[in-house]
Amino acid sequence: MKTLIENITNLYKNRIELLKAKDKPKIGWVSIYTPEEILYAAGTIPFRITGELGIDITDAGALLNHNYCSYVLSCLSEGIAGIYDFAEGILFVDACDMRKRLCEVWTTYLKPGFSFFLDLPRDTKQISKDYFRLQLGELITLLEHHFKCTITDDVLREAIDVYNETRRLLQQFYTLRKSGLAGITGNEILSIVKAGAAGLKEEFNKNLALLIRHLKTYNRASTNVEEAATEKEKNNDSKKHRVLISGSYFDNSAIIESIEKFGASVICEDISNGIKYFESRVNPDEEPLKAITDYYLEKTTCARVVDSTRRLNHLLQLVEEYKADSVIYFSLKFCDTNLLDFPYIRDQLLEKGIPVLFIEGERHMTNIENIKTRILTFLEARMY
Ligand code: SF4
């Protein structure tokens, strides 16, 4: 099974080399509201910029400000270092003010061959959908002009199928996870989701399908939620304290490792590089542009887009579905959108008897030991 997992996680680990080797233009993105299907239909390879390489953020801080969230600063620092020089362009979404400024700085100083700024309405009213759809039309026109292609409904449908397949497989994988994925670590699962956004869709879909087939055959894991609950009684792995992570972009492997070493397990990540990336699907039976508009505007759970109550209800539903015992809410420093929601979400979770721990940190944390101690103290009080 380890080989099957590595085949997928290597797609993320080696993404830069693998993307460079592809004979198609590449377009980077920094928000899960990026309509990847449209970029794919233009014959490009859309991939997520993750800011994971740990490059010094001093220059990025000088161009923006040091009180920007470290996701934005680390993405920009990779851009400044020339990591994405192989890409033809980048697409920005108005998902928060910091990403808006990132767009201004990136397009002014790094001068990508192609760039687009997509304004993202905050609600799902018809007028918002009409406005969003107009912008998608403008994006299509610019892509057709720049990449000398024609984006027909049929090409869009093909793209929707590829992306829906990724979502379907990841949803299936997470359903298996509910009953315990013995032998797969929390960090491996996060790397699998990140590989799904790394632009290598065909390879990803093929390899994840193989892994799921293996899990179903050899782990006899269940795809049925009720059966999964029964399995929980039998499966030692499922008896562990189950932690759900919510909040900003989070992929700190040292923290996940320490949670697992302590005897608990991370059961779901309600974050943009977790379940938020692949929930629900684009309706394949609708007119493609309408279906894409509806999908991205109705996407649940982002602190920027939906009201806090809708977000809370979604979180509560995940706690129930994944039988989570506690929630760790992680916010990157200076992330106003996630910080603003937290007091309300904390109060509501506590009222319902769900323990919650708030952690505020940086992308590449220097105070990691301090944070690990807080997490372990929180878990200890609930596990023993
Ligand atoms: S972490 Fe917060 S501030 Fe940073 S890009 Fe995401 S939503 Fe914006």
Q: How far is CA 138 from CA 18, 38, 132, 217, 289, in A?
A: 30, 11, 10, 47, 12
Q: How confident is the model at residue 90 (pLDDT cuts 50, 70, 90)?
A: very high
The rounded percent of the chain whose pLDDT value lies above 70 is 93
Q: Which helix (H) or strand (E) holds 246?
A: strand 241-247
Q: Which atom of ligand 1 is nearest to the CA of 30?
A: 5
Beta pairing, strands 326-332 & 45-48: unpaired
Tens-digit pLDDT profile for residues 32-56: 999 999 999 999 999 999 999 889 9
- Is it the case that residue 225 has pLDDT exceeding 90? no
Alpha carbon nearest to ligand 1 atom 8, residue:
96
pLDDT of residue 238: 61
pLDDT of residue 229: 47
pLDDT of residue 80: 96
Least confident of 102-106, 190-194, 372-376: 372-376
pLDDT of residue 45: 98
User: Which distant-in-sequence residues (6+ apart) come within 8 Å of 339 by Cβ?
Assistant: 331, 360
Q: Which residue has the higher pLDDT, 306 or 155?
A: 155
pLDDT of residue 219: 62
Least confident of 122-131, 163-172, 255-264, 365-374: 365-374
273's tokens: 């590089």
Give the residues surrounding ligand 1 with Cβ less than 6 Å away. 69, 71-72, 96, 98-99, 248-249, 304, 332, 335, 337-338
Candidates 343, 368, 337, 369; CA nearest to 358 is: 343
Q: In what order do the strands lie in the sheet with 241-247?
A: 264-270, 241-247, 326-332, 356-361
Cα 317 to middle of ligand 1, angstroms: 24
Task: Give CA–CA dist 165/190, Å, rounded.
Answer: 18
CA dihedral 118, 122, 125, 127 (to 10 degrees): -40
Q: How confident is the model at residue 308 (pLDDT cuts 50, 70, 90)?
A: confident
| CATH class for the domain made up of 22-152 | alpha beta
pLDDT of residue 307: 72
Q: How far is CA 11 from CA 107, 200, 204, 272, 384, in A?
A: 28, 7, 7, 19, 39
Q: Which atom of ligand 1 is nearest to the CA of 69?
A: 4
3-state secondary structure of 26: strand
Cα 75 to middle of ligand 1, angstroms: 11
Task: Give CA–CA dist 288/172, Å, rounded.
Answer: 24
Residue 203 identity: E
- Which of 100, 248, 270, 276 has most ligand 1 atoms within 8 Å of CB, for mutation? 248
Alpha carbon nearest to ligand 1 atom 6, residue:
248
CB atoms within 10 A of CB 111: 8
Q: In what order do the strands lie in the sheet with 114-118?
A: 45-48, 26-29, 89-93, 114-118
Tens-digit pLDDT profile for residues 174-200: 999 988 777 899 999 999 999 999 999
- Which of 29, 64, 99 has most ligand 1 atoms within 8 Å of CB, for mutation? 99
- Is it the case that residue 227 has pLDDT exceeding 70? no
Q: How confident is the model at residue 220 (pLDDT cuts 50, 70, 90)?
A: low
- Which of 332, 339, 342, 364 has most ligand 1 atoms within 8 Å of CB, for mutation? 332
User: Which distant-in-sequence residues (6+ apart) come within 8 Å of 118 by Cβ?
Assistant: 33, 34, 35, 91, 92, 93, 94, 135, 136, 139
- Is it the case that residue 236 has pLDDT exceeding 90? no
Task: Give CA–CA dist 27/49, Å, rounded.
Answer: 10
